[in-house]
Structure 1
């Protein structure tokens, strides 16, 4: 990491006196937040996002820098990165620095478009209270890394994994899910969403139910499950319904290999919040349409 990048990261860069908060420029001589209660200021800064806090907010003035040292500010770390703004190695170091500042109070972390097994290990090796982990299209986080990390995630309640194109589908599979289920007994909410190609188009021995079966065998306590774009058949869905009687929400959008016209459909109808294969994706977190060109199938495959 360059010295200038590290200066921004550690708050030692005295040259930065301007930043942006909610789209408005804040300058050093407008410290209106100094009159607010400390916990209110922390809540406001948390809305900005971790990257802006480390790169900008902490450099506005001495009082803001002091607030940015408070572990309470780092209970939730949002590393929402759009893929082309900062070097991935810099982002990893920034995340580690934010984790260190949490001083064991970390509850929620969001990694978007970057991250690797080493970073996951860094997160879970620290004594913290992590209850929510969100991994979005992080191609360098693998089954091996997730499995090892899960051994130190006994308190986690929510795990959200979003996979993108076909190159990502090979990194986190049923193996990682199975180990998570074995090691995380209080996990209540799981997202395992896929937006890429149908793997059987490329692998003749592909079993579409491996992930569903891993979930059914190790996560009976689930209350919320999202399997957007999953390849499972009726066999996988039935296994989940049999094993997870406490499900309150189930997202099956783009799961085109299941048939909900019979008994499976009747059983699913009792789930409080149910999203069906052909339901709208307008409220989905990412642009699903951008991945449809990967698909290769005939309409008869889903009849």
Structure 2
């Protein structure tokens, strides 16, 4: 309904107006003319959906001359198009930033997917800086051992001799062990867990002899098929500061043994951190370690059930070791069995699962750039 009451009130009371919005108002040409007369400083006027305005005579021209920002009654009311979301072109990111992102992705996902995005990404994915740390774990399928080993060979190649930290779980071979040692003389940390496909003690001993920079070594659930691991322990150079040698404590039959503990005491005087979960040593072996490793700060003796720490030895441990885990402490944070009686299947997989080897992607040679579409 046409009505100029509001327009007349505005004109009579707001002479300093600069911006006015009257969407859907019932004013007519009379009310609009009064506003223009009463508000000489008006710069912006929104008259959308004011359908009683006719803009007869010179009123239309006056609006155009007096008002800088005008929305008249026929200006569409629809919302403007939403701003177009900016699509980030990942190829335009600085190389340093992309390398930082790929470091977070990790070696497995780089080899499985990231390197196949495009040629630019592939070029970044073979940068040696990405391969200083390589952690690859196979806990799903024993059929995939060869695939993971092939990935590991590729990863070591890409490190270009700069490999610092290696963790392998659930796969491996004598050949891979030898290759890592020959190509990674700067290696400081080596972790091998459940690598029962590494069979030769002699191969591993020779590999350790090449790793003169090694500071941390972990061997978890890993027995050689043809020999006791004593010679492996003895072959570790004296500069190793962290050693983890975790196995299954023998509870049936009763088999206490201090051979490994005595070998550690004789070979690793610089030890600061020692983990021996599931070891069969007795108080004799533990005493030898405490005597020969005066810098030892942390000691994990969980599931070492042949130890008796009730008397003097227990007191000595509490005085000498800052961080001590006792034989019967919880192993909830340890993902492996601790005794030979523990029901445990490392390969928790579907027995009907098909072998992927027929369809798995062939990891391309690092010199082959013709593969990429861009």
- One fold, TM greater than 0.5? yes
Residues 85/216 of structure 1: CA separation in 2 closer, same or farther (3 Å cut): closer
Following the alignment from structure 2 to structure 1, what is the Cα–Cα distance between the partners of residues 94 and 251? 53
RMSD between superposed Cα atoms in Å: 2.7
Partner of 1:277: 327
Partner of 2:342: 293
Residues 127/258 of structure 1: CA separation in 2 closer, same or farther (3 Å cut): closer
Following the alignment from structure 1 to structure 2, what is the Cα–Cα distance between the partners of residues 131 and 245? 22
| DSSP 3-state at the match of 1:288 | coil
Are 2:257 and 1:198 equivalent residues in the alignment? Answer: no
Following the alignment from structure 1 to structure 2, what is the Cα–Cα distance between the partners of residues 33 and 241? 55
Q: 2:188 is matched with which residue: 116, 120, 131?
A: 131
Residues 85/212 of structure 1: CA separation in 2 closer, same or farther (3 Å cut): closer
Q: 1:216 is matched with which residue: 265, 268, 285?
A: 265
Structure with bigger gyration radius: 2
Partner of 1:63: 120
Residues 161/174 of structure 1: CA separation in 2 closer, same or farther (3 Å cut): same
Kindly provide the CA deviation profile for residues 136-157 of structure 1, in whole angstroms up to 9, marking residues without a partner as x.
1001224222211111011000
The answer for unaligned runs of 5 or more in structure 1 is 1-29, 296-303
Shift of 1:42: 2.6
Residues 32/258 of structure 1: CA separation in 2 closer, same or farther (3 Å cut): farther
Residues 190/87 of structure 1: CA separation in 2 closer, same or farther (3 Å cut): same
Partner of 1:148: 206
Q: 2:218 is matched with which residue: 152, 160, 165?
A: 160
Aligned length: 257
Partner of 1:257: 306
Partner of 1:266: 315
Q: 1:51 is matched with which residue: 68, 89, 108?
A: 108
Kindly provide the CA deviation profile for residues 268-287 of structure 1, in whole angstroms up to 9, marking residues without a partner as x.
11211110011111122x14
Partner of 1:105: 162
- Normalized per residue, the structure richer in helix is 1
Given that 2:278 and 2:339 are in contact with CA atoms closer than 8 Å, whether structure 1 keeps it comes out as: no
Residues 289/237 of structure 1: CA separation in 2 closer, same or farther (3 Å cut): closer
Given that 2:201 and 2:224 are in contact with CA atoms closer than 8 Å, whether structure 1 keeps it comes out as: no
Are 2:235 and 1:179 equivalent residues in the alignment? Answer: yes
Following the alignment from structure 1 to structure 2, what is the Cα–Cα distance between the partners of residues 48 and 172? 38
| DSSP 3-state at the match of 1:78 | strand
Residues 257/127 of structure 1: CA separation in 2 closer, same or farther (3 Å cut): closer
| DSSP 3-state at the match of 2:299 | strand
Kindly provide the CA deviation profile for residues 194-236 of structure 1, in whole angstroms up to 9, marking residues without a partner as x.
1x361872xx9x6611100100001010000000010000000
Given that 1:130 and 1:155 are in contact with CA atoms closer than 8 Å, whether structure 2 keeps it comes out as: yes
Given that 1:131 and 1:156 are in contact with CA atoms closer than 8 Å, whether structure 2 keeps it comes out as: yes
Given that 1:163 and 1:193 are in contact with CA atoms closer than 8 Å, whether structure 2 keeps it comes out as: yes
Shift of 1:45: 2.1
The answer for unaligned runs of 5 or more in structure 2 is 1-86, 345-374
Given that 1:253 and 1:278 are in contact with CA atoms closer than 8 Å, whether structure 2 keeps it comes out as: yes
Following the alignment from structure 1 to structure 2, what is the Cα–Cα distance between the partners of residues 138 and 275? 25
Partner of 2:297: 248
